[in-house]
Structure 1
Amino acid sequence: MTLIFAHRGYKSLYSENTMTAFIEAEKAGAEGLELDVQLTKDGVPVIIHDEKVDRTTGNTGFVKDFTYTEIKKLNADFKKMSPKGSEPIPTLEEVLEWLKDTNLNCNIEFKNGIFPYASMEEKSISLVRKYGLEKRVILSSFNHYSVVQCLRIDPEIETAPLFAELVYKPWVYAKALGAKGIHPKYIYASDDIIRESVSNGVAVRPYTVNREKDMERLYKAGCTALITDNPALALEIKNKKGKRP
Structure 2
Amino acid sequence: MKIFAHRGAAGTYPENTMVAFIEAKRSGADGIELDVQLSKDGIPVVIHDETLNRTTNGSGFVKDQTMGDMKKLNAGYKFGKQLGRRIPIPSLQEVFEWIQSTDLLCNIELKNGVYLYPGLEEKVIQLVRGYGLEERVILSSFNHYSLVYAWRLAPEIETAPLYRDGIYMPWVYASSIGSRGMHPSIHAVPDALIIDAMAYGIQVRPYTINGEEDIKRLLSINCSAIITDFPERAVRIRELNRSK
For the aligned pair, the TM-score class normalised by the smaller chain equals over 0.9
Query: Could you give the per-residue CA deviations for residues 56-91 of structure 1, whole angstroms, max 9, x where no partner exists?
Result: 112210000001111111111121265233111000
Secondary structure of residue in 2 paired with 1:55: coil
Letter in 2 for 1:174: A
Structure 1 residue 95 and structure 2 residue 73: aligned?
Answer: no
The answer on whether the counterparts of 1:186 and 1:206 sit within 8 Å (CA) in structure 2 is: yes
**Equivalent residue number for residue 127 of structure 1:** 127
Cα 1:131–1:84 change in 2 (3 A) is: farther
- Residue by residue over 1:118-160, the C-alpha shift from the partner in whole angstroms, topping out at 9 and shown as x without a partner, is 1000000100111100000000000000110110110000000
Q: Which runs of 4+ in 1 moved over 3 A?
A: none
Alignment of 1:54-133 (within 5 A): 54-80=53-79, 83-133=83-133
d(CA) in 1 for partners of 2:25, 2:153: 29
Structure 2 counterpart of 1:121, one-letter code: E
Secondary structure of 1:56's counterpart equals: coil
TM-score when normalising by structure 1 = 0.97
Counterpart residue type for residue 219 of structure 1: L
Instruction: Please state how far the C-alpha of 1:229 moved relative to its aligned partner.
Output: 0.4
Taking the aligned partners of 2:59 and 2:128, their CA distance within structure 1 comes to 30
Q: Distance in 2 between matches of 1:5 and 1:136?
A: 12
Secondary structure, in 3 states, of the residue corresponding to 2:79?
A: coil
Supply the AA of the counterpart residue of 2:225: A
Q: Distance in 2 between matches of 1:221 and 1:150?
A: 31
| TM-score, normalisation: structure 2 | 0.98
Residue by residue over 1:185-210, the C-alpha shift from the partner in whole angstroms, topping out at 9 and shown as x without a partner, is 11222111111111111000000000
Aligned-partner Cα distance in 2 for 1:100–1:234? 24
Q: How many residues were matched structurally?
A: 243
Select between 134-143 and 221-230 the one with higher mean Cα deviation. 221-230
CA distance in 2, matches of 1:223, 1:150: 26
Unpaired stretches in structure 2, ≥5 consecutive residues: none
Q: Distance in 2 between matches of 1:149 and 1:192?
A: 30
Superposition map of 1:157-168 within 5 A:
157-168=157-168
Query: What amino acid is aligned across from residue 69 of structure 2 in structure 1?
Result: E
The residue aligned with 1:190 is: 190
**Contact 2:164–2:187, Cα closer than 8 Å, also in 1:** no
Helix, strand or coil: the match of 1:103?
A: coil
Structure 1 unpaired stretches of 5+: none
C-alpha separation in 1, matches of 2:137 and 2:193: 23
